[in-house]
Amino acid sequence: MRFAILGTTEARRDDGTPVPLGGARLRALLAALALHPGREVPSATLIDAIWPDDPPQAALRALQALVGRLRRALGPGVVLSGPHGYRLAASREEVDYHRFVRLCGDGTRALDSGDAAGAVELLREALALWRGPAFADLPHGPGRDGPAARAEQHRLTAVRGRVAAELRLGRSDACLPELRQLVAEHPLDETLHVLLIRALRDSGRSADALTAWEEARRRLADELGADPGPELRRLHRELLAAPPAAGGDAGDPAAGWPAAGAPGAAPTRPSGARRSAVVVHTPHTPHTSPAAHRPNGPRTPPAPRTPPVPPAPPEPEAPGAPGTPRTVPGNIRLPLTSFVGREEDLAALHRALTTARLVTLVGPGGSGKTRLSLHAARALADSPDSGPAADGAWFAPLAALDDGTAVPGAVLSALGLRDTVLRPDGQRHELPPPTLDRAPTATPTEPAQPTAPSPPSPPAPPGGHRAVANLIAYIADRRILLVLDNCEHVIQGCAELVEALLSDCPRLTVLATSREPLGIPGEVVRPVDPLPTASAMRLLAERGAAARPGFTPAVDPAAAEEICRRLDGLPLAIELAAARLRSLTPRQIADRLDDRFHLLTGGSRTALPRQQTLRAVVDWSWGLLEPAERALLRRLSVFSGGWTLEAAEDVCADPSPEPGDPAALPRWSVLDRLSSLVDKSLVVADQPEPPGRHGPADPRGTATRYRMLETIAEYATERLHDAGHDAERRGVQARHVRWYRRLAVTADRRLRGPEQLAWMARLEVELDNVRTALDRAVADGDESEALLLVLGMAWFWSLRDYVPEARAWVARVGAMGPDPLAPGAPPPRPVPTSPLDHEPPLTGEVLLEARRAIRMMVLVTFDDSYRLPPALTGALRRAYHPGLPQAGRMPGMMWPLTLFVEGERAEGFLQALDDLVATCRRFGGPWETAFALMLRAKISGHLSTEAAKVEHSAEEALELFTELGDRWGIAESLEEVADAAARRGDFDAALVPLLRAARLAEELGVRQQLPLIHCRTAEVLLALEDLDGAEHRVRLALSLAMDLGRRAWDSVTYGRFLMAQILALRGDPAGGRRMAERALASAELGSPPVVFTVMLLALQAWCALCEGRAADGLALARRTVREHRAGPLFPDTTDILGSVLAVGACALAAMATAPAAPAVSEAPAAPAAPAALPRREDARRAAVLLGAAPPQDGAETPLPVRRWAKGFTEEAADALRRVLGEEEFDELCERGRGLSASQAAALLAEPPEG
């Protein structure tokens, strides 16, 4: 099917029959989709295109209805849905607009190669596709106006190219009527004027050609204030130099002129010269219209003569004081609007200008270089001694020039000096260079005296050399500040002039503004960076209030900040955005910045054309680039968030550059081209930070990183997606994916050794590129690249706690291929090597293993893992049984956690951890073995009674990780070594490794691990009865965890759990209980182990006991036991259960031994008989539970019991002895010591009958 949008929107089947489309909105939808064939168009963009002014209330629903109608009209498979919008399933060649663009490019290339006939044929075919206005069915608005303007510009370019080709074929007479009509329609199009004049000349009508040239010159001068461009000027010189045509008109003013250079010929009128009279070497008031500074070109000097002495340039009036001469002469005029946010830059520039003779302000277009230079020059001129501007401050705008040789003349004109005169016969006549005597600098006590004329001097060389000599003679030893503005497009001419002036004028200071340095000795380059956010917001506020009175960013600060940030802090872009506030809200502007080049078009009417729109600003820089620089810039747009030189060389270089192609990019040339883009302020080079005490941030030492401002990047992306670059774009994007896949694979290995810090830092800065590469791999359906990228990044995501992102990529990439764990899938076979050891495309068992591995990645982290569906965990456990090599490397070696998810009892879990260690010793390397040992120590410490085995595992893991240089592994192992020491009661020995682990975690930046280490340290300090130290660590942990948000709620829970104990131990059990309740609330937001929730209930029971509320304490203890017994890892003995038994026993004893209220009696009270005390059976049960609880003073006593039960158990035992008697109490305690943990828990959980 083919689609036509150059006119009324049409769709035609392959046989040419039209498809009925119905109403205007249906045609508008098809046009909006056809503008981007094969690409998803966001729903918001489609809504804006179809209803630009008044979208319906349920716009998305209305769009869906329209899409349904269009699908019914076009048939199935033509309009496809995407995650964010819709896509027209068509190639660019099936849409007339894109076919037109392609034909235009082919025709232009044919014309450039000399095939005029072929160019005519191609361009006529392209123009024949137009049936009316482009995109006629799209309503006026951003969705149509910008694309339509570009299409119209393409059409006009095609018309120009076809006419030019026909002129080459000698068809000038036939082209004249069309050219006259085109010039009338586009009176300021210089190319059309050139074609008309050529056609007239080639038709033998030289007089009409000169008349047409004069009309073009007048139009440009009157309407633009500009002189004709170089092509028109060259054509004019050809007309004047040509002999009279055979059929020339007698009235042709050129008919009687001899050929240039012939005897008696008048000097050729310089290019761009006007026919008006010019004063000879007299000063004039400098002005800044572009026409005022056009070059005078090569001149033929007449015989030498004695020139007059030019007076010094006039002293313009000081601002605010009409008629009062300024102390310092010059032409510095400040802009009318305020100067915002450059105070530090201005001060630094002032210092630089007082110490250096050449300072160049460099920065991207629109960064405010001109304004900064004007304010710096004005400040120097107004200072008490004026410094480098004591004898004048002069501003020379160079933006209107198009030839470097014209720079000296423009500067001469800016200083108020001219050297041409009108002859009586009406022609310009060039005078020889004057000799400018040096006038001494005026002082308050001795004014400068006029000097006599010097003797005649010999003729000076023509053109720019003459102007340079005049400038040197005038400036001499005056202390003048000369500002050269916009040097980038005439950089060579500026460099030559400045070097000559500085060499011969020892007191001259030059301040230049440019998008690249001048590159001459002694130059001090000062970058003009984008405004910081605060200054950018001030600028937006001031310009916005001017555009819309009452505006303030406080109305929508988030949108205002987004505007400033996404516009890179560029003052011109922010001012253009502020102008839009007349018709849009800040949020509307921010939401439309993806189309910033169509949005930001409302610049000042008095500004240069290239500063009136954001696109024009960047177009100017683009136009100054060489073909190879343009190729590199557009290719660099595939990067996100910056790149290194090596990445640019690998991704952007041509694999097989064509010899002689000016746009070719061999690998060896990328450095030079990239450096040139940095010099031209299109690429930013960020120098690395000096290496710190832990080594450099880059694994290869120090390395420069490059990036583009967002505006430049968007422009370069547009250029890469332009017609004619599709193959280039696909190749660059594929190389981008390949580079970052290799980076991820390399990083996976380096993250487990001594380079861990450097590679974590490197991947952190490359995250945006990795995400972009993954997006492209998924979009292109390249499963192997996507799988390897995910597996290569898995360990980094785990270390940096990017768990949600990892799971999102697992879901997307896992959906690209069949599920290897689905019922009926073949059982896994041994895979000796990791998929990361293979290059794509992956095949066979390696591909299946990669698909299984990303499904195992959900178990790389602990949080939420037990919420996985049992079917998945069962399939993973069967896929990674201990006999397979892949079960001994990441991520397969996390298979024991599937047992945790499935509720396996402690014995089975402990056996699985032993099997894991054996598997890793057999199939894995040192790192895998160390990880397995550390994991066994971490989990077994809470489940196993084999304390020596647990401690040995932690110590061996620490030894292996230390040999590997893996800081993360060392920190994790140190925690387990500390836990082992704490379990045996050696809290001093536990504290040292925890403090070291905290330092390592801080170095690594493992954000989620650090709060947990602080909490564990606080727990040890509590055991050492250092409440102040414990509270400090807890508060530090809570502060870090709260900054991390929801992902660190487990640390928040742990910290509140400890803080509750601290409050209770300080005599505030009620505050401790409330803090424990808060900890339970935060536990519901996170994913702590079930046993930890049980500990929180036990803590509340203890706090209630401390408050004297024994009944509440007993109820909470019983609830704790019930929930603990329901957990998946209820073992025969745990320290947690021991703690609860102690608290429950004490609560039950307190209730059972509480005496009844005594009766009032005057007789002395007799000792109460045992039968008189209430609830004797509860006292007996309490004695049994007290015997079942671990002793508080033993070395094996669990940490919570030592802290919580201290004081209570002795008190409870004494009370029970008084009630039960010594013998019965001892007998019951001995019975309790014989109970298993399960039996003791059942005794506490079940209230007595009756």
DSSP string, 856-878: HGGGSS-TTGGGS-HHHHHHHHH
pTM for the complete prediction? 0.62
The answer to the question of residue 524 being in a domain is: yes
Q: Which is more confident, 280 or 144?
A: 144
Q: Would you say 258 and 265 are in contact if contact means Cβ atoms under 8 Å apart?
A: yes
CA gap 337, 275 in Å, rounded: 37
The reply to whether 379 and 510 lie within a common domain is: yes
Residues 553-564 have a mean pLDDT of: 88
Least-confidence region, from 459-473, 784-798, 1041-1055, 1154-1168: 1154-1168
| Residue 495 confidence (pLDDT) | 92
The reply to whether 1239 and 1196 lie within a common domain is: yes
CATH number of the domain to which 47 belongs:
1.10.10.10
The reply to whether 339 and 293 lie within a common domain is: yes
Residues 349-365 have a mean pLDDT of: 89
Residue 912 has pLDDT above 70, yes or no: yes
Beta-carbon count within 10 A of 662 CB: 10
Q: Tell me which H or E stretch contains 1043.
A: helix 1027-1044
Residues 88-105 have a mean pLDDT of: 90
Q: Would you say 122 and 103 are in contact if contact means Cβ atoms under 8 Å apart?
A: yes
The answer to the question of residue 17 being in a domain is: yes
Beta-carbon count within 10 A of 283 CB: 15
Q: Which is more confident, 651 or 464?
A: 651
Residue 426 has pLDDT above 50, yes or no: no
Residues 1018-1035 have a mean pLDDT of: 90
Q: Would you say 1058 and 1066 are in contact if contact means Cβ atoms under 8 Å apart?
A: no
The answer to the question of residue 476 being in a domain is: yes
Residue 862 has pLDDT above 60, yes or no: no
SS3 category, 680: coil
Q: Last residue of a domain, which of 500, 529, 558?
A: 529
Q: Which is more confident, 552 or 246?
A: 552
The domain in which residue 1015 lies consists of: 1007-1088
The answer to the question of residue 568 being in a domain is: yes
The reply to whether 423 and 543 lie within a common domain is: no
CA nearest neighbour of 260 among 242, 244, 248: 242
Distance of CA 319 to the CA centre of its chain: 44
Q: What is the mean pLDDT of the chain?
A: 79
The reply to whether 1119 and 1080 lie within a common domain is: no
| Residue 335 confidence (pLDDT) | 77
CATH number of the domain to which 688 belongs:
1.10.10
The reply to whether 1115 and 1234 lie within a common domain is: yes
Q: What's the sign of the alpha-carbon dihedral 987, 992, 996, 999?
A: positive
Instruction: Kindly indicate the confidence band of residue 1247, based on its pLDDT and cuts at 50, 70 and 90.
Output: low
Q: Tell me which H or E stretch contains 706.
A: strand 705-707
The reply to whether 391 and 525 lie within a common domain is: yes
Residue 566 has pLDDT above 60, yes or no: yes
Q: How far is CA 224 from CA 572, 620, 1115, 1153, in A?
A: 22, 18, 91, 105
The reply to whether 1128 and 1192 lie within a common domain is: yes
Q: Last residue of a domain, which of 559, 582, 612?
A: 612
Q: Would you say 569 and 533 are in contact if contact means Cβ atoms under 8 Å apart?
A: yes
**Paired residues of 422 in beta bridges:** 428
| Residue 964 confidence (pLDDT) | 95
| Residue 781 confidence (pLDDT) | 94
The answer to the question of residue 732 being in a domain is: no
Q: Would you say 1177 and 1140 are in contact if contact means Cβ atoms under 8 Å apart?
A: no
Q: pLDDT tens digits for 264-291?
A: 333 333 333 333 322 233 333 333 333 3
Q: Which is more confident, 1023 or 338?
A: 1023
Domain count, the chain: 7
Q: Would you say 736 and 639 are in contact if contact means Cβ atoms under 8 Å apart?
A: yes
CATH number of the domain to which 1021 belongs:
1.25.40
Amino acid at 127: L
Instruction: Kindly indicate the confidence band of residue 241, based on its pLDDT and cuts at 50, 70 and 90.
Output: confident
Residue 243 has pLDDT above 90, yes or no: no
Least-confidence region, from 58-62, 156-160, 460-464: 460-464
The reply to whether 558 and 596 lie within a common domain is: yes
SS3 category, 593: helix
CA gap 1161, 1163 in Å, rounded: 5
The reply to whether 598 and 679 lie within a common domain is: no
| Residue 1127 confidence (pLDDT) | 55
The answer to the question of residue 181 being in a domain is: yes
Q: What is the distance in angstroms between the CA of the first residue and the CA of the last residue of the chain?
A: 86
Residue 832 has pLDDT above 60, yes or no: yes
Residue 757 has pLDDT above 60, yes or no: yes
CA atoms within 13 A on the CB side of 623: 12
Q: pLDDT tens digits for 516-527?
A: 899 888 899 998
Residues 704-725 have a mean pLDDT of: 86
Residue 323 has pLDDT above 80, yes or no: no
The answer to the question of residue 887 being in a domain is: no
Say what percent of the chain tops pLDDT 90.
24
The pairs formed by 248-253 with CB atoms below 8 angstroms and a separation of 24 or more are 248/204, 248/206, 248/207, 249/205, 249/206, 249/207, 249/208, 251/207, 252/206, 252/207, 252/210, 253/207, 253/210
| Residue 186 confidence (pLDDT) | 86
Residue 1192 has pLDDT above 60, yes or no: no
Residue 531 has pLDDT above 60, yes or no: yes
Instruction: Kindly indicate the confidence band of residue 867, based on its pLDDT and cuts at 50, 70 and 90.
Output: low
CATH number of the domain to which 227 belongs:
1.25.40.10
Residues 1100-1125 have a mean pLDDT of: 82
The reply to whether 355 and 467 lie within a common domain is: yes
CA nearest neighbour of 252 among 220, 212, 221, 202: 212
Beta-carbon count within 10 A of 201 CB: 21
SS3 category, 668: helix
| Residue 277 confidence (pLDDT) | 29
For residue 1064 the two structure tokens come to: 């209770």
Distance of CA 881 to the CA centre of its chain: 43
According to DSSP, the β-strands at 523-527 and 358-362 are parallel
Give all strands of the β-sheet with 85-88 in edge-to-edge order. Answer: 40-42, 85-88, 79-81
Instruction: Kindly indicate the confidence band of residue 261, based on its pLDDT and cuts at 50, 70 and 90.
Output: very low
| Residue 235 confidence (pLDDT) | 86
The answer to the question of residue 1052 being in a domain is: yes
Q: Last residue of a domain, which of 529, 561, 586?
A: 529
SS3 category, 698: strand
Instruction: Kindly indicate the confidence band of residue 902, based on its pLDDT and cuts at 50, 70 and 90.
Output: low
Residue 844 has pLDDT above 90, yes or no: yes
Q: pLDDT tens digits for 609-666?
A: 555 677 887 887 888 889 999 999 999 999 998 999 999 999 999 998 888 888 899 9
What is the number of H-type helices and E-type strands within the chain? 50, 15
Residue 1159 has pLDDT above 70, yes or no: no
Q: Would you say 1148 and 1181 are in contact if contact means Cβ atoms under 8 Å apart?
A: yes
The reply to whether 599 and 641 lie within a common domain is: no
Distance of CA 118 to the CA centre of its chain: 45
Residue 77 has pLDDT above 50, yes or no: yes
CA gap 136, 151 in Å, rounded: 12
CA atoms within 13 A on the CB side of 171: 14
- List of E strands, 34-81: 40-42, 79-81
Least-confidence region, from 856-865, 962-971, 1087-1096: 856-865
| Residue 1034 confidence (pLDDT) | 92
Amino acid at 91: S
| Residue 535 confidence (pLDDT) | 85
